[in-house]
Amino acid sequence: MNVNYWQDIAQKIYEKTSATALRNADKIPYSTINGRFDDQSDNISWWTNGFWAGQLWQLYGAVGGDDLRKIAEKIEEKLDRVFLQSWGMDHDSGFRWLMTAGANYRLTGSESSKNRLILAANDLAGRFNLAGKFIRAWNDSGDGSKAGWAIIDCMMNLPLLYFVSDILHDPRFSQIAIAHADTAIKAFVKHDGSVCHIVEFDPVSGIRLKSHGGQGFAHGSSWTRGQAWGLYGFTLSYIHSKKREYLETAQKIADRFIERIPENGFIPVDFEQPKEPWYEDSTAAAIAACGLIELSKISGEKYRETAEMLLKKLIEGRCRFDLECDNILEKCTAAYHDSWHEGAIIYGDYFLAEAVLKLCGRETFLW
């Protein structure tokens, strides 16, 4: 597909996002209610709270627009409250601050944004379990019940550590990222290239105890967003570390993902879910497309071709570019067994915008 096609789509995303941003200037959205963004400002530590700002920064970097920048900066300032909530600081610091402070620092050189990145990276590094060489995922009530839990999503948060290592010329952050990625290869990635969502380690000895089913259909099945996190996450760790094993792992996950794409090109919540009820997750397609585009720069055109196919399917069948609703991407699902399926989720819009801007050569690399 030629670049003009992707330029046209990027313009549609910009126009839609600009209009949406103005009527939601004080919100931090996760989903929509009757076509209008909800607001997570009172749930300030929620893991997705950086993605709307990230989308605004991506489009600001590509096209400009002071309104987009100011709204994104306001979200970044709101997130300062999270630093004062120990229960709200978890392994998703990359998702929150790479999209906000990271984008701001890259595009404007803001010193206050640099400070936030360092604070977030210090906290993320502090979650490292020395015995098991993994970064703890979620918090618990203080009973230690999740002290040994790690999840595949964390591969996407490691770039915060790589980035701050570069900023400070301090290798300890990247050393922790590499140690976690090494553990993830052994503990999360299966022989067939699929990945586990949750792995539980003994937090004292560091021994891998078992895996948990998480947000997919069942224990041992293939939750597609988790596959996408692994695909993109190991690609990013290779980009930062140049460690060949990460590239080979990303290729292994990508090849398995591609093998299992349904004929219609739309991605289910889980590759092993039953025919009924069958739920779709457009976010998994958008995230995978971003990872495949980056992988194609290293490993060949087949990955880019698959990414373009996934994106075209979304654009033609799962996107709304009209101004009547706030979201762009539809058919997004967070987890197979949730009570809510196939709606709008903000990170779907973010990764769609990132992927399209990659194909235009106009993306700001936030990872």
In the predicted structure, residue 176 carries a pLDDT above the cut 70: yes
Q: Locate tokens 């096609």: which residue?
A: 5
Task: Return the SS3 of 209.
Answer: strand
Confidence at residue 147, expressed as pLDDT on a 0 to 100 scale: 98
Cβ contacts of 39 within 8 Å, gap of 6 or more: 26, 27, 28, 29
Identify the band that residue 300 occupies on the pLDDT scale cut at 50, 70 and 90. confident
| Mean pLDDT score of the chain | 97
Confidence at residue 311, expressed as pLDDT on a 0 to 100 scale: 98
Closest CA to 75 of 90, 94, 56: 56
Which whole-number Å values give the CA distances from 41 to 25, 46, 78, 123, 209, in the listed order?
12, 9, 8, 22, 37
Distance of CA 259 to the CA centre of its chain: 22
The answer to whether the beta carbons of residues 220 and 213 sit under 8 Å apart is yes
The whole-angstrom separation of Cα 299 and Cα 32 is: 38
Which whole-number Å values give the CA distances from 58 to 65, 178, 262, in the listed order?
11, 27, 30
Q: DSSP code of 328?
A: S
The whole-angstrom separation of Cα 355 and Cα 156 is: 15
Confidence at residue 1, expressed as pLDDT on a 0 to 100 scale: 67
Confidence at residue 2, expressed as pLDDT on a 0 to 100 scale: 87
Confidence at residue 250, expressed as pLDDT on a 0 to 100 scale: 98
Q: DSSP code of 267?
A: P
**Half-sphere exposure of residue 22: CA atoms within 13 angstroms, side-chain side:** 9
The answer to whether the beta carbons of residues 160 and 117 sit under 8 Å apart is yes
Confidence at residue 248, expressed as pLDDT on a 0 to 100 scale: 98
Interval 219-233 mean pLDDT:
97
Parse the chain into domains and list their residue ranges: 3-352
DSSP 92-113: THHHHHIIIIIHHHHHH--HHH
The reported pTM is: 0.98
Q: DSSP code of 172?
A: H
Task: Return the SS3 of 297.
Answer: helix
User: Per residue in 47-90, pLDDT tens?
Assistant: 999 999 999 999 999 999 999 999 999 999 999 999 999 999 99
**CATH code linked to domain 3-352:** 1.50.10.10
Interval 134-140 mean pLDDT:
97
